Structure 1
């Protein structure tokens, strides 16, 4: 088996429909009605700063957050996408200082740990990075709950119905389900 991770295009359903991808795994925006969707786990956004950052260990207000230089991840987002954080801040009359746009949550995490920038990533990413850094004997990111509601993130598994009975695809879907169950159990214990 060979696993290849690719960035989503504007029409992820077409890659599944055309057989270019076997599965899609991620945050579901919208999808074609014929595709199969299984909810795997939920998460939520948190703020991340480096150890020693001026906001680390503080009671952070929405204004504090908005006035900090931030990193915006644009992974899996169409050009007209307004980030959920920006919508939440606009709802309370604030606008954040978007300093950098990066292609993924992992890049945002890395940049936040090496600068005075603030990243917003799913909590599971932040916790995994903190564990990874601890295993290396290094300080991990400081994680804080956002002082405004961004709702939950639903991670889904998506496939085309023609793959329902394909033994390799069924095996891969079950493997992904098992891995997410283990991640979910580990996150509850963390």
Structure 2
């Protein structure tokens, strides 16, 4: 007796799940004619029609319905055999240092929650937050950093990344600032005040400045600080205006929607800006490392909690 073609099990699983020749073909990346020929072979192998026409649709025969769970389990087990074995991770006994490249804003917004989430399960794990002096894949590539969190650019094609959350820029002034009394800040009023800009590279210009220039407007940047928390610190005790990501004001230190609990009033920018897409980045060499996968899961969970706090990830798109 000739050996059974075990590839037919994959096809049978798809046909039963989709109850459609065309659907199974799309699922397996085959043509409809090839899938139809496979169904003929399956009918010969099982001695049952498996799929029959009922009006304009195809329906499973009783035999196919009875086979559904058995076929699904067999296919699942077969695929698990072919996956590389991953050693079980004992998180409670994991003793390891992880280096996370992130800016001050992420540390202020998520640092405490991430440390708590990690150490509550793995008390022997230590997190080291390293500054992002420049955007470069080298720390991940060379292993001096385990993961990086931020805007993915100039990182190279080999770096893996996953979106953590979307943020947006808003204007920030101290509570009591003249702009805080306005329901809507116009571009002209926005440019009438001096500004402090946040840039680790010392840049003064931003995409917002280009949009303002199209209207014949210029904002006067009188100071540049290396981080958004630094810009907020300046704004609290001056009449300067800052532009910061909304999520920075959703932390425990500033729970109110307008940010006033920390002495900051937030307002919508007069011109929409592109959304900020914050990503989790890592190198392929640690893709399957159980400890790294566990840490990435913790980062994703903490950031998902930040996104669910509301105003930081909502509002008008850029």
User: Which bin holds the TM-score, normalised by the shorter protein?
Assistant: 0.7 to 0.9
TM-score by length of 1: 0.87
Unaligned runs of 5+ residues in structure 2 are: 1-124
TM-score by length of 2: 0.54
Give the secondary structure class of the aligned counterpart of 1:5: strand
Higher strand share: 1
Contact in 2 for aligned 1:124/1:187 (Cα 8 Å)? no
Contact in 2 for aligned 1:48/1:126 (Cα 8 Å)? no
Tell me, in whole angstroms, the C-alpha distance in 2 between the residues paired with 1:123 and 1:72: 15
If you compute each CA radius of gyration, which structure gives the higher value, 1 or 2?
2
Are 1:110 and 2:226 matched, yes or no?
no
Distance 1:182 1:38, change over 3 A: same
Q: CA deviation at 1:139?
A: 5.3
Match of residue 49 from structure 1: 173
Contact in 2 for aligned 1:51/1:140 (Cα 8 Å)? yes
Superposition RMSD in Å: 2.4
Q: CA deviation at 1:81?
A: 8.1
- The Cα offsets for residues 64-115 of structure 1, whole Å up to 9 and x where unpaired, read as 112211111103x5x6784222222223222211111111111111111111
Q: CA deviation at 1:188?
A: 5.3
Are 1:72 and 2:197 matched, yes or no?
yes
The total of aligned residue pairs comes to: 185
> Which of 180, 183, 189 is residue 306 of structure 2 equivalent to?
183
Higher helix share: 2
Give the secondary structure class of the aligned counterpart of 1:183: helix
Query: Equivalences for 1:21-36 in 2 at 5 Å?
Result: 21-36=145-160
| Most deviating of 154-163 and 120-129 | 120-129
Match of residue 94 from structure 1: 217
Tell me, in whole angstroms, the C-alpha distance in 1 between the residues paired with 2:213 and 2:263: 30
> Which of 263, 267, 291 is residue 140 of structure 1 equivalent to?
263
Tell me, in whole angstroms, the C-alpha distance in 1 between the residues paired with 2:276 and 2:179: 24
- The Cα offsets for residues 4-37 of structure 1, whole Å up to 9 and x where unpaired, read as 2222233420111011111110122332000001
Unaligned runs of 5+ residues in structure 1 are: none
Distance 1:72 1:81, change over 3 A: closer
